[in-house]
Copies of this chain bind each other. A is one copy, B any other.
Amino acid sequence: MSARRPPLVGRFTGEELALAGRNRGMPLEALRHDVTPSGLHYLLIHFDIPPVTAQWKLRLTGLLKHPFEITLEELKTLPARTERVTLECAGNGRGQLSPRYPSVPWLEEGVSTAEWTGVPLAALLGRAGLRSEAKDIVFRGADRGFDRGVEHEFARSLVPELAMRADVLLAYAMNGAPLPPQHGAPLRLVVPRWYGMASVKWLYAIEALERGFDGLQQASGYHFRSAAGEKGEPCTLMRVNSLMVPPGIPDFYTRKRVARAGAIEVTGRAWSGAAPIVRVELGVDGLWRDAVVEERQCEHAWQAWHAVWDARAGAHELACRATDALGRRQPLEPPSDLSGFGNNGVQRVHVTVR
């Protein structure tokens, strides 16, 4: 049960490989779907998928005027809301870095979009009557294990202003079907615009505290840091980012691409937690030009983009780069971070045209 793990360079360890086998990415050709088919949605499971128990109830406790428990059946009788939400793992792109932090070695596939149906968290907090002394609200998941030597359940918190937003959901359905075990059955939190760690799965308790939550995954995990020992800045909104469907057809082992010469429509998606996407550029061998960006159809979901590439024989490097309405633009190189969080450096795809 290790403490902080020393950084890695070069090939991947057996531990990283085992995490990659469990924590599935979305194959990039699935970017063709507005809503990711459920079985293709990326997964980040900290510990084990816990079993669903028949006695499950959601408990609301702590600084509340009227603490209560509620069953899934009761939750389903409350007014429901469906939100289409793009979620990205804060560690997406970590595996591209060198040195890299030993954790899930995402290359670029830790992002997906789903339609989540449930009850706005604000409705339950309203019924419970959040007391004015409450400073933080903790969400406890049923998955339990060790990280850096500390046994804990996965738990995260939100400040009351954010928790009361109408679009923060307690979701019991995904893409119109009951929540699957791996996505948090029977109930999960969904926090749009934030990196995925905020959307606690297998939720069983919500607790209002008079102080900031000091759990490991909140106070120490999921922070941007430049050096070990720093307090760092917490990961919050998803940074501006974009991906393309790799054109052509792949080699099985190297996944390198081969395409036929001629006009090729390159398509992809772009997103930012902070604002709509206003521009996507397609880079071909270092030359950038604007792609067509579709209007935002759902406030919390990625936007489609496309561009025509006049592919000529030879070896080429494609790249894509998004800019949001606040002027935030993806960097050409991965930003530096000790734990590999927030890597929104541009995707690069190598294609041989024949």
Contacts and interface: CB of A to CB of B under 8 A. Distances in A.
A314 interface: no
A234 interface: no
A146 interface: yes
Contacts of A106: 21
Given A5-B253, A145-B250, A21 B22 contact: no
A211 interface: no
Interface string A1-32: 11001000011111111111110110101101
Contact of A252 (B40, B105, B107, B145): B145
A327 interface: no
A256 interface: yes
Interface stretch (A44-52, A159-167, A271-279, A336-344): A44-52
Given A17-B17, A27-B49, A49-B27, A40 B180 contact: yes
Interface in A134-191: 144-147, 151, 177, 180-183
Interface string A238-262: 0000000010011111111010000
B249 A18 contact: no
A251 B145 contact: yes
A254 B15 contact: yes
Contacts of A11: 10-14
Nearest to A102: B253
A95 interface: yes
B15 A255 contact: yes
Report the contact-size class of chain A (Cβ under 8 Å from the partner).
Answer: 35 or more
A138 to B, nearest CB: 20
A39 interface: yes
A147 to B, nearest CB: 4
A253 B145 contact: no
Nearest to A110: B21
A107 B17 contact: yes
Given A24-B24, A253-B5, A12 B14 contact: yes
Nearest to A20: B20
Contact of A254 (B2, B45, B144, B151): B2
Contact of A25 (B22, B183, B251): B22
A2 B39 contact: no
A149 to B, nearest CB: 9
Interface in A77-110: 95, 102-103, 105-107, 109
Given A12-B16, A13-B11, A14-B12, A182 B27 contact: yes
